[in-house]
Amino acid sequence: HQQRNMAAMEGLNVDTLTVTLNTLRTLRSSATLFFKIVSEGAKEDNLTEGQNNFSERAMKVMADVKTHLRELETQVAGLSPPSNPVNLGNTGLLSLDPTPDKLPLYYQLLDCYTWMEKVHCYSTIMHSLFSGNNLKRSSISSPYSAKRRRPVQLNHNVPQQQVDGIIQSINQMFPDMTLNLSRPFGNNAVVQVTLGRVLRAVVTFKGILIEWVVVRAYNEPLLDEDGKVDLYTSSQYKVFQKVTDNANAAMLNFCSSGFSDLAVRSFFTWLHSFVSLFTDVCKRCNNHLHNHMPPTWREFRTLDPFHEECKA
């Protein structure tokens, strides 16, 4: 509450200072006008009439100056000095330096210290708020808390039989999608996917985690010139380049260290939804094509098709 009151007082003080500066500006304008009238003097041909007009104008402007001066004194009296004035030490002597190019250093340094004080104040408030909402599990002291925790599973170092079993079960889930598993680089699996007559893909695993996905057209090869699996060459078609980007985004979305089997099945279920890539209509615009592209995005939960521009 004290910090809130201080912030409210500071806001009120800033508003009062703004009004005071506006009044000072008006006072300076009135004083400038008075000196201008005095310097011009009487300009009428008839000296008596000119003197009277000159006196009336000067007295009217002087009355405005007195009014604005009273307002300024009242507003200045309402200003409160800062509670914690900034102590610049010897650097305050910079304001006394007569060199024109060094005079702004004092004001720049003063602004820097003022902002640092604000950052310190706000960080203190945020620390008090976050410390009251500590959600770390390590703060729960219970003899049963350790038993409730799931054992740490190293998903990048799992038996090959576990990965083979997951890929085989997925292969049986979708008759129109074929998965061929190989290990050309050691223990890590590489899965070549053929989805109907629509697309082909290469899915690279690190243990049981999906590490990289490349999607190509059905007529594009998955092997390079040496007969090895091509892991990184992108498709020559923009449609499948966009599907590749979305597939890698889906791979990151479904990634879960605690439910790695479910993450792999969810990803291949999402990938299977592209079997109707060129026949689906967008759920938002109800069109097959938008900017000469079919719906290349599939919503993660419902698998609804969207164009890239329509998914937002």
Q: Which value, in Å, is the radius of gyration of the alpha carbons in the chain?
A: 38
H or E segment to which residue 142 belongs: none
> What pLDDT sits at residue 101?
66
| Residue 217 burial (CB count, 10 A) | 14
Contact 246, 296 (CB under 8 A): yes
* 3-state secondary structure at position 213: strand
State pLDDT tens for residues 113-159: 788 888 888 888 887 777 765 555 444 444 444 445 555 455 667 88
Is the pLDDT at 86 greater than 90, yes or no?
no
18 or 133, higher pLDDT: 18
Distance CA 99, CA 85 (A): 26
Contact 279, 303 (CB under 8 A): no
Mean pLDDT throughout 28-38? 86
What is this structure's pTM?
A: 0.53
Is the pLDDT at 105 greater than 60, yes or no?
yes
At 268, list the tokens: 């291949």
> What pLDDT sits at residue 127?
79
Cα–Cα nearest to 192, from 203, 183, 207: 203
**DSSP symbol at 219:** T
Cα–Cα nearest to 295, from 286, 303, 106, 281: 281
Per-residue confidence band for 23, with pLDDT thresholds at 50, 70 and 90: confident
Contact 273, 298 (CB under 8 A): yes
Per-residue confidence band for 3, with pLDDT thresholds at 50, 70 and 90: very low
Is the pLDDT at 2 greater than 50, yes or no?
no
**DSSP symbol at 233:** P
Distance CA 216, CA 212 (A): 14
> What pLDDT sits at residue 41?
73
Lowest mean pLDDT among 1-5, 253-257, 268-272: 1-5
**DSSP symbol at 182:** E
Is the pLDDT at 279 greater than 50, yes or no?
yes
Distance CA 199, CA 216 (A): 6
* 3-state secondary structure at position 152: coil
> What pLDDT sits at residue 153?
53
Mean pLDDT throughout 98-118? 74
State pLDDT tens for residues 166-196: 999 999 999 999 999 999 888 889 999 999 9
Sequence-separated contacts (24+) of 263-267 with Cβ below 8 Å: 263/209, 263/210, 264/166, 264/170, 264/208, 264/210, 265/166, 265/169, 265/170, 265/173, 267/210
State pLDDT tens for residues 216-237: 999 999 998 888 999 999 999 9
150 or 198, higher pLDDT: 198
Mean pLDDT throughout 271-284? 95
51 or 185, higher pLDDT: 185
